[in-house]
Chains A and B, each alone.
Chain A
Amino acid sequence: MASRIRIRAQLKGGECEVKALMRHPMETGLRKDQLGETIPARFIETVTVTHNENIVLEAHWGAAVSANPFLGMQFEGGSVDDIVKVSWRDNQGETGEGETRIRQG
């Protein structure tokens, strides 16, 4: 089950600016539902950003990252039409990914 990521990559003066919005509940495992049952922890653990297959960012997250996480980052050396890909994996093994082509900002 892979879920899509909204992602944008723009060239701005020699650097590529990436903004990504993931759809994920980022459940801490500390909250209870209406019946008082603990809602199991479910959060993104690893996020990877690649540019033409090269890793430009690798992040480890805890449950304290907000629901529907936002990530903004910048790397050097991208060109228009290069592929930027963002992928994540959560603590339950579910994954998500999205890719886009770099545009002139």
Chain B
Amino acid sequence: MKNKQFNGMARRTFLRMSSLFALATALPAQVRAMATRPTSVFEATGVEAVFSQLGATPTRSEGIIFSVPDIAENGAVVPVKIEIDASILPDVSKLYVLVEKNPNPLAAVFGVPKTTRPYIETRVKVAQTCELYAVAEAGGQFFMTSKETKVTLGGCGG
């Protein structure tokens, strides 16, 4: 019985590895670069730690249009939208969403191929009133903008 289970596991692992290999060889270089999860950036605690994992503190840029609510009634579902003004920031390849006071500030990274508009909408959890950051990566350089969201759930008034 044990042996049978082991065989099942090994086969599954093998299938997973071979399918990953097929995927890695089939994708174009730009996408393959994104395929690796930036684990250390996700595990960083504190915004500064995230920036040091990225390798640079982003420069503030007017080219990032970042929409978050001023007041979030429910911190568990906070809508965020990032748009890039390509006339100011061309060639954006990645977009990051950071929530300053979450245990791990990095919430999401989006890899944007050339035919995709550098535009993203999603919803994130915000533990408490704090600054939210939108970071854009273009040609190896980092740019950012930030906005505060007040979290009022619990009626404490943020």
Residue on B nearest A76 in the bound complex, by CB: B115
Rounded to whole Å, the gap between the CB of A95 and the closest CB of chain B is 12
- Within the assembled complex, what's the spacing in Å between the Cα atoms of A9 and B122? 16
Indicate whether A62 sits within 8 Å of B107 (C-beta atoms), given known contacts A57-B112, A74-B116, A76-B115.
yes
Tell me if B60 is interfacial: C-beta within 8 Å of chain A: no
Q: Is the pair A64, B125 in contact by a Cβ cutoff of 8 Å? A: yes
Interface range, A side: 20 to 34
Question: How far apart are the CA atoms of A9 and B81 in the complex, in Å?
Answer: 18
Pair count A-B, CB < 8 A = 98
B interface residues, how many (CB within 8 angstroms): 34
Q: Which residue of B lies closest to A61 (CB)?
A: B108
Q: Which residues of A contact B38 (CB under 8 A)?
A: 60
Name the CB-closest residue of A to B42.
A62
Q: Interface 1/0s, chain B 83-126, versus A by CB < 8 A?
A: 00000000000000001001110111111110111011111110
What is the minimal beta-carbon distance from A105 to any residue of chain B, in angstroms? Answer: 15
B71 at the interface (CB under 8 A from A): no
- B→A interface (CB under 8 Å): 27, 31, 34-35, 37-38, 42, 76-79, 81, 99, 102-104, 106-113, 115-117, 119-125
What are the interface flags for A57-77 relative to B under an 8 Å C-beta threshold, 1 for contact and 0 otherwise? 111111111110111111111
B108-A15 in contact (CB<8A) = no
Residues B115 and A73 in contact, CB atoms below 8 Å apart: no
Q: How far is the CB of B120 from chain A (nearest CB, A)?
A: 6
CB distance from A99 to the nearest CB of B (A): 18
